[in-house]
Amino acid sequence: MDEVRNPFAPGAGSQPPELAGRDRILQDARIAVQRAIFGKPTQSQILLGLRGVGKTVLLNKIEQIANDHGHLTSMIEAPEGIPLPVLLYPRIHQVLRKLSVIEQAKATAFSAMRALRSFASIFKVEMGDFALSVDPEMGTADSGNIEYDLAELFVRVGEAAKAAGRGWTLLIDEIQYIGEKDYGALIVAIHRTNQKGLPVLFFGAGLPQVAALSGDAKSYAERLFSYPSVGALDQKSAELAIKNPIEVEGERIAVDALHAIVAKTRGYPYFLQEWGYQAWNTADHSPIDAADVDQSSQKALRRLDDGFFRVRFDRLTPREREYVCAMAKLGNGPYKSGDVAEMMKEPPNKLGPMRASIIKKGMIYSPSYGDIDFTVPLFGDYLVRNWIEP
């Protein structure tokens, strides 16, 4: 069929044509941003899930919702090893510039600018093109203790937003890469603005271990945030994610073909987009049938193997590759660390540092004590197909 009209969008963070199965998460976000404007207590959210389940897509949608309801927004994708002050500075500067042109917020925005200048100076943030033409406010956000200083800065930003009748929503993707001390400071800052009834919200997204990291950082984090799980779609939602976009284009898909796509992808959103994309391009005419899906599956797997899976596998050292292959040989996870060690014929304590390194790289995580699993859906199948001898 016409490839130009192909409705599917397999890509990192690409908005799918049908955002199925996420209504509750989006509705909660919609309520939260409106309550924040009115100064009513509300929980921020941290979306938890594996790679490719649509967390980034949801963050982008929540950003749009926040903008639609009077919030200024700051979206950050956290890379490894970059301090939080460096990530926050240009975003907060941008927010304060926007608030500073609103008459009723000029004074509080100026005060927040001075606090930001103090914060940037004490944490040695290279300001460059974002240099502030204000003097620092001595004694504000400049103690050198990031928990105290970030909280003071967030309060100043929240006060400026409140004076303007606006809100501020901070969104951070890949929050598992934020350092422990910085993450703890972020939690304290959100807690402080909550206590003061300021219109500041935080939406994060990260791998499943983030919930435990939050609790480790601050015990009250479990009450401060809600932690929606973003996983594979149920059967009905997965079918809608394929069927509706096709029908919007005036085409059809046979029921058995639809069921085949859901079965092959196990309902994971990124894979649904890939299979839908390939099935559309493979079909000569409507309706797309099961033969089209079978024929397109090899193309879909090849693209995933060469891209989605391979780029992650290439980050591992040879010994780390042996470790994940040993996991895959055990079948479907979660896996016992001791079973992996036995498969590798190594004592479990010797493999501890290697396991920690693979976790740090975001390839595996610990869903519960003593267990490990892949952070990428169907990654074990990829290893079996390409790296494990029959």
For residue 102, what is the domain's CATH number?
A: 3.40.50.300
Please check the confidence at residue 85 and state whether its pLDDT lies above 90.
Answer: yes
How far, in Å, CA of 10 to CA of 46, rounded?
24
Residue 169 structure tokens: 């929503």
Q: Do 124 and 176 share a domain, yes or no?
A: yes
What mean pLDDT is reported for the chain?
92
Mind listing the pLDDT tens digit for each residue in 275-304? Answer: 999 999 999 999 999 999 999 999 999 999
pLDDT of residue 290: 96
* Average pLDDT over every residue of 167-180: 95
Confidence band for 217, pLDDT divided at 50, 70 and 90: low
Q: Do 100 and 47 share a domain, yes or no?
A: yes
* Average pLDDT over every residue of 192-212: 93
pLDDT of residue 244: 94
Per-residue buried b or exposed e for 227-252, using 16+ beta carbons within 10 Å of the residue's own CB: bbebbbbeeebbbbbbbebbeebebe
Q: Do 166 and 245 share a domain, yes or no?
A: no
Q: Do 169 and 246 share a domain, yes or no?
A: no
Contact indicator for 134, 106 with CB cutoff of 8 Å: no
How far, in Å, CA of 265 to CA of 257, rounded?
12
In a domain, 81, yes or no: yes
pLDDT of residue 339: 96
Please check the confidence at residue 222 and state whether its pLDDT lies above 80.
Answer: no
pLDDT of residue 216: 67
Which residue range(s) make up the domain with 374? 316-388
Please check the confidence at residue 308 and state whether its pLDDT lies above 70.
Answer: yes
* Radius of gyration from C-alpha coordinates of the chain: 23
Please check the confidence at residue 336 and state whether its pLDDT lies above 90.
Answer: yes
Q: Do 67 and 43 share a domain, yes or no?
A: yes
Domain end call among 264, 282, 312: 312
How far, in Å, CA of 292 to CA of 314, rounded?
32
Q: Could you give the angle at which helices 55-68 and 23-37 cross, rounded to 10 degrees? A: 30
Q: Do 82 and 114 share a domain, yes or no?
A: yes
In a domain, 125, yes or no: yes
Q: Do 332 and 298 share a domain, yes or no?
A: no
User: What one-character-per-residue DSSP string does 80-133 give?
Assistant: TT--HHHHHHHHHHHHHHHHHTSGGGHHHHHHHHHHHHHHHHHTT---GGG--S
* Average pLDDT over every residue of 132-150: 87
In a domain, 149, yes or no: yes
Mind listing the pLDDT tens digit for each residue in 235-256? Answer: 999 999 999 999 999 999 999 9
Confidence band for 80, pLDDT divided at 50, 70 and 90: confident
- Other Cβ atoms closer than 10 A to 113: 25
Domain end call among 281, 312, 343: 312
* Average pLDDT over every residue of 38-65: 93
Confidence band for 130, pLDDT divided at 50, 70 and 90: low
Token pair 């996420």: residue: 22
pLDDT of residue 139: 86
Alpha carbon 158 to its chain's center: 24
Please check the confidence at residue 14 and state whether its pLDDT lies above 80.
Answer: no
In a domain, 119, yes or no: yes
Contact indicator for 69, 166 with CB cutoff of 8 Å: no
Q: Which has the higher per-residue pLDDT, 390 or 216? A: 390
Query: 3-class SS at 306?
Result: helix
Which of 113-122, 124-133, 151-160, 162-171 has the lowest average pLDDT?
A: 124-133
In a domain, 58, yes or no: yes
Contact indicator for 156, 192 with CB cutoff of 8 Å: no
Please check the confidence at residue 9 and state whether its pLDDT lies above 90.
Answer: no
Please check the confidence at residue 127 and state whether its pLDDT lies above 70.
Answer: no
Please check the confidence at residue 15 and state whether its pLDDT lies above 80.
Answer: no
Q: Do 222 and 286 share a domain, yes or no?
A: no
Mind listing the pLDDT tens digit for each residue in 91-110? Answer: 999 999 999 999 999 999 99
pLDDT of residue 297: 95
**Rounded percentage of the chain residues whose pLDDT exceeds 90:** 82
- Identify the DSSP state of 307: I
